[in-house]
Structure 1
Amino acid sequence: MRRYLIGTIAATALVLTGCAQHDTMSAGPDPVTVDAASAAQQEPTELIGSWTAAGTDVASGTVVQFTDRSLRVFDGCGVRHGSWNADQSGLLIADMHSGGGCTAAPDAGLGWLLRADGFRADGDTRVLLDDTGAELARLRLGGRPDSEPDMDPSWLQPPTVTDETRRWLAAPPALPAQLADPTSEELVGRWVPVGAAADSAGRWPKPASVEFVADGTWTGSDGCNSYAPGRWATDGDGAFLATGGVSTMIGCDNVPTGLWLITARQAGLDGDVLVLRDAQGAETGRLVRG
């Protein structure tokens, strides 16, 4: 929930899967908003690929693959699956929703990845940063996971950037003048779709909603299904990112609040209404305090 002073630092140093099961994940750090005047532009599409990870807390031989909306980690425990999001200001968030063969928790031993709140380019290397701008890990392009029985053979090939990826990660147009840039503190709390209070009586098993938590996670419901925790971030200058949205799949006339979040690239306040917009500037949803 912050924009990094990447220019200064550099000088010194999803797939929405409705029926997937979500186990546990590490909570993100407390939200912080900092001045972005010196921030250098990054290119999130350049994260797409297969990387060898290295760092103090990184298991030797770990390979990380950023694909179109999904994330795979190979670290000797099979493959772990998650999601990620990033933008041109250098924000980066990730979560894991299924584990490998060595541990019941999909996020175990991955604090160096799940505590990341930003990234920067250092030549051909990508550096993962925590909420203070400190280095968590370095990613070197060209990582290749070891082949294992029953592994999808496509995972042995590096992911590539597609036209859909470019659309998803494109820099959005400026917020319209009537939309104010929200701080992370202004977003924390429970929100419901516009009109949901009047429309929900007798229609859904539970109210459709999302709740932004101060630790950097979000939860919610589409009216039928509860979303497992994902992550969210804002830079206080209109940028908004979210991951997750994994849920059960109970059928009803639902409101896809999770999809609204993970497809959004911007958030603005129109009075009391939170307006979410995608990379092309189209609205994905509107929410009010609930």
Structure 2
Amino acid sequence: MVRQGYLATLIAFGVLLAGCGRQTGSGSVDPGPVPGATEASRPLAPEQLVGSWTIADVDDPGAGKILRLAPAELHLIGSRCGTLGGSWRADVDGVFLADIDSASSLVVEGIPGCERAGQDVPGWLRRVTAYRLDGRGLPVLLDDLARPVARLIPGATPTAGPDMAASELAPPVVTDAARRALAPAAPLPAALTPVDRRRLAGRWAPTDGHKAAYVEFTADGEWRGSDGCNDDSGRWITAAGGTLLATAGAVTLMYCAASVPVGAWLWTARRAGFEGDVLVLLDAQGKEAGRLRAAD
């Protein structure tokens, strides 16, 4: 299993988090107040999430110590299951989504209960659907009721280990290309009805292409699908204005004629809307990525 090429060439959006129980990193760190549901938010930009962060105030003793967020990937370091990798998505409205799709071989082979560490998103992380900045400008991760789930404290320094590449230790950098990729998405065209979570849940098939291609959105925020020959999966989230963000994980690379890259469609999607009974996926520039119709 390998990650598809589009994961190596596109910039991810969002953030993956994890943390030690009530950890605040260094004893001298005072991360400041946590914003509540009614506190006015500072202006947001996904690039503010890029960095190496100490995770604080996660109610899970094995959640992890450091979250390293690069423009195209994330690493959760120091969890009870070792170092985990994945992708993240976020937008300027504060929507957040993260996924796990890999774990070190050390984890899979040596720690009881961690056999699926590279496939399952930790429960606390699964609850996170948004981010805001607190009074000091530090990121706070929130659930769907705007309740804090975790705080991120800057300046974390990962310690080299047998399951970590050198590239995972250096502080992530926001490049000009990353800033362009993380810029606000074009608005949904007025002719489309904004997508919503309830209507999106279910099985959809491309309007053209391989008859076996499909994508199925489940109510718990997971999706699975096929291009006609290769299976794919990830997570998804919707928000106001037709916002749709999705992750995509490892996929086989079997060739088949007339395949439909539904995973790539979802990865590049930033907006989605309905044209009658057809689901239209749009990229950040408002260009159509793909069309699907509800399948029986």
The match for 2:56 is 54
Q: Distance in 1 between matches of 2:170 and 2:219?
A: 38
Give the counterpart of 1:274 among 257, 276, 279: 279
Q: Distance in 2 between matches of 1:182 and 1:265?
A: 11
The aligned runs of 1:151-162 (5 Å cut-off) are 151-162=164-175
The match for 1:7 is none
The match for 1:64 is 67
Is 1:137 aligned to residue 117 of structure 2? no
The aligned runs of 1:111-260 (5 Å cut-off) are 111-122=123-134, 123-149=136-162, 151-196=164-209, 200=211, 207-228=212-233, 230-253=234-257, 254-260=259-265
Q: Distance in 1 between matches of 2:208 and 2:255?
A: 21
Q: How far is the alpha carbon of 1:69 from its aligned partner?
A: 2.9
The match for 1:24 is none
Q: Distance in 2 between matches of 1:284 and 1:163?
A: 24
Q: How far is the alpha carbon of 1:224 from its aligned partner?
A: 0.7
The match for 2:26 is none
Structure with the bigger RCO (C-alpha within 8 Å, sep 6+) is 1
Structure 1 stretches of 4+ with a deviation exceeding 6 A read none
Q: How far is the alpha carbon of 1:68 from its aligned partner?
A: 2.3
Find the residue that maps to 1:268 and give its secondary structure. strand
Unaligned residue ranges in structure 1 (runs of 5+): 1-15, 20-37, 201-206
Call closer, same or farther: CA 1:176–1:136 in 2, change over 3 Å. Answer: same
Find the residue that maps to 1:237 and give its secondary structure. helix
Whether the 8 Å CA contact 2:100–2:121 is kept in 1: the answer is no
Tell me the TM-score normalized by structure 1. Answer: 0.78
Whether the 8 Å CA contact 1:41–1:90 is kept in 2: the answer is no
Whether the 8 Å CA contact 1:211–1:219 is kept in 2: the answer is yes
Find the residue that maps to 1:75 and give its secondary structure. strand
Q: How far is the alpha carbon of 1:60 from its aligned partner?
A: 8.1
Q: How far is the alpha carbon of 1:41 from its aligned partner?
A: 4.7
Between 99-108 and 145-154, report the one with greater CA deviation: 99-108
Corresponding letter in the other structure for 1:157: A
Between 236-245 and 82-91, report the one with greater CA deviation: 236-245
Q: Distance in 2 between matches of 1:191 and 1:60?
A: 35
Corresponding letter in the other structure for 1:188: A
Give the counterpart of 2:47 among 42, 45, 48: 45
Q: Distance in 2 between matches of 1:143 and 1:266?
A: 34
Whether the 8 Å CA contact 1:238–1:267 is kept in 2: the answer is yes
Corresponding letter in the other structure for 1:46: Q
Corresponding letter in the other structure for 1:52: T
Q: How far is the alpha carbon of 1:174 from its aligned partner?
A: 1.5
Corresponding letter in the other structure for 2:3: T
Q: Distance in 2 between matches of 1:155 and 1:75?
A: 13
% identical equivalent positions = 44
Task: Count how many residue pairs are aligned between Structure 1 and Structure 2.
Answer: 248
Is 1:105 aligned to residue 105 of structure 2? no
Q: How far is the alpha carbon of 1:155 from its aligned partner?
A: 1.3
The match for 1:204 is none
Call closer, same or farther: CA 1:48–1:191 in 2, change over 3 Å. Answer: same
Call closer, same or farther: CA 1:144–1:108 in 2, change over 3 Å. Answer: farther
Unaligned residue ranges in structure 2 (runs of 5+): 6-39
Q: Distance in 2 between matches of 1:287 and 1:163?
A: 33
